[in-house]
Structure 1
Amino acid sequence: MHITNLISQYFGKVAKFEFPSFIQRVINGAYVKFLGLNMSEFRNPKFYKSLNDLFTRELAIPRQIDKDEKTFISPTDSLVTQCGKLEEDLLLQIKGMEYSLEEMLTYDCADNFEKVNNGDYMNFYLSPKDYHRYHASIDFEVRKLIHVPGKLYPVNLKYLNKQIDLFVENERVILECFHQEKLFYMVFVGALNVGEMEFTFEPRVETNKDLKQAKVYEYLEPKKIKKGECLGCFHMGSTVVMVWEKDFVQLEELMGQSVKYGQRVAYIK
């Protein structure tokens, strides 16, 4: 097991520990103040029983989302660190740092490589202060889920600029999704500290464990997901990469901008 995975496991144990309530209130309050969390949509920090409980907090006030059937919404509260068109199967983790989509998706997606070549992509980076749950960008069907074990390098801007093939090296969960027979992928990339990802529709996925090879879940009856539905959560910050097949969508101009879950990020051509 890589050192980043071990660090994350130990940090996870601390983050999940429930201290006596008066101590936990102090810890939560300090965390909120230190990172400058906006808690206006959430419960008071004193109600969270552990730091991990605070990390993975649910919205207490329902978010208004773009309900247009022809739009994709942001799956997360995050920073768009890169977006644009693939060049064949190449995309950017950050400016000047290319990697192969085929390597990230693995050969368990090989049947669809031609569809996504020259398609569009967008990277969503969640910082430790962001809302850590992820949601469906549009109505879709999940036909395959691939859990790829790997390292847990940080995914902040510093590491994106220096760690080659970070999204290929790190542990990730890949959803193969279809909207009216048009293909797109959602790739959830693990990161340092805790390193866990949960999926509400697939409880068999357990990340940051001693998994030796990829696990593939194929659904003869596709999992039907509604726009805005909560798909699960990151335990600490991480990244979602969305990739659409060629000529499917037009991306909004969001490079370098912060986006909110529910905000339009692309529309169907």
Structure 2
Amino acid sequence: MHITNLISQYFGKFAQKEFPSFFQKMINNAYVKIFKINMSEFRNAKYYKSLTDLFTRELAIPRQIDEDEKSFISPADSFITQAGSLHKETLFQIKGMEYSVEDLLTYYCTDTFPMVKDGSYMNFYLAPSDYHRYHAPIDCEIKKLIHVPGKLYPVNFKYLNKEIDLFVQNERVILECFANNKIFYMVFVGALNVGQMVFEFEPSVETNKNTKDIKVIKYDDLKVKKGQTLGYFKMGSTVVMVWEKQSVQLEELLNEKVKFGQKIGTIK
């Protein structure tokens, strides 16, 4: 097991521990203050029973989403670190640091590589202050889930700039999805500190565990609606979306903050 996984497991035990209420309030308030979290859409920090409970908080005020059936919405509150067109099979984790979409998606997606070649992609970085639940970006059908164990390097700008193939090295969960008869992928990348990803429709997936085996789950009829909660990060992380060639027109959002529910692209 890599040191990043061990650190994350130990921190996870602390984050999930429910301390006496007065002490937990201090921890929660300190976390909110340090990371300057806007709690206006959530319950007061004092009501969360652990740091993980606070970090994975649900919206208390429903979020308005772009309801145009042809629009993709952001799956999470995040910062767009890279976006654009793949150069054949290559995309960027950050400017100057390229990697292969084949390595990202693994050989379990071999049949679909030609479909995403020269396609589009967008990287969503979730900072510690962000809302950490992720949602369906459009009405779609999930055909496959692939869980790839790996390391848990941080996914901040420092590591994106220095760690080659970071998204490929880190643990990740890949969803193969179809919308409007076109394929797109959502790749959820784990990160340092807890490093766990939860999927509400697939409780059998357990991340940051002592395993090296890739797990593949196929679905016959798993449809989700735009805005539906898919799951959440327990600390971290990053979502990478990859679309089939000529299937989507992305908004110009590079180096901008986006909110879950905001339009990020339109089906062509």
Note the residue ranges of structure 2 that are not aligned, 5 or more in a row: none
CA deviation string 1:198-221 (max 9, x = no partner): 0011000000001112000011x2
Matched residue, 1:181: 181
Question: 1:130 touches 1:237 (CA, 8 Å); kept in 2?
Answer: no
Instruction: Map residues 118-129 of structure 1 onto 2, 5 A cutoff.
Output: 118-129=118-129
- Is 1:266 aligned to residue 265 of structure 2? yes
- Consecutive unaligned residues of structure 1, counting only runs of 5 or more, are none
Q: How does 1:15-164 map to 2 (within 5 A)?
A: 15-164=15-164
Q: Which amino acid aligns with 1:89?
A: E
Could you list the per-position Cα deviations for residues 48-96 of structure 1 after superposition, in whole angstroms to 9, with x for gaps in the alignment? 0000100000000000000000000000000000000000110000000
The one-letter code matched in structure 2 to 1:265 is I
Q: In 2, distance between residues paired with 1:15 and 1:236?
A: 9
Q: Shift of residue 144 of structure 1? A: 0.4
Aligned residues: 268
The residue type equivalent to 1:84 in the other structure is: G
Distance 2:149 2:101 in 1: 17
Determine helix, strand or coil for the equivalent of 1:61: coil
Q: Per-residue deviation at 1:165?
A: 0.1
Q: Which residue of 1 aligns with 2:206?
A: 206
Q: Distance in 2 between matches of 1:247 and 1:25?
A: 50
Q: For residue 233 of structure 1, what is the amino acid of its counterpart?
A: Y
User: Partner of 1:9 in structure 2?
Assistant: 9
Alignment partner of 2:198: what SS?
A: strand
CA distance, structure 1, for counterparts of residue 42 and residue 105 of structure 2: 35
**Percent of aligned positions that are identical:** 71
SS in 2 for 1:32: helix
**Cα distance, 1:181 vs structure 2:** 1.5
Q: Which runs of 4+ in 1 moved over 6 A?
A: none
Residues 110-155 of structure 1 deviation map (CA, whole Å, 9 limit, x = unaligned):
0000000000000000011100000000000000000000000000
CA distance in 2, matches of 1:182, 1:254: 22
C-alpha distance in 2, partners of 1:84/1:241? 12
- Aligned letter for 1:104? L
CA RMSD of aligned residues (A): 0.5
TM-score normalised by the chain length of structure 2: 0.99
Distance 2:179 2:128 in 1: 31
Aligned pairs (5 A) from 1:216-255: 216-219=216-219, 221-255=220-254
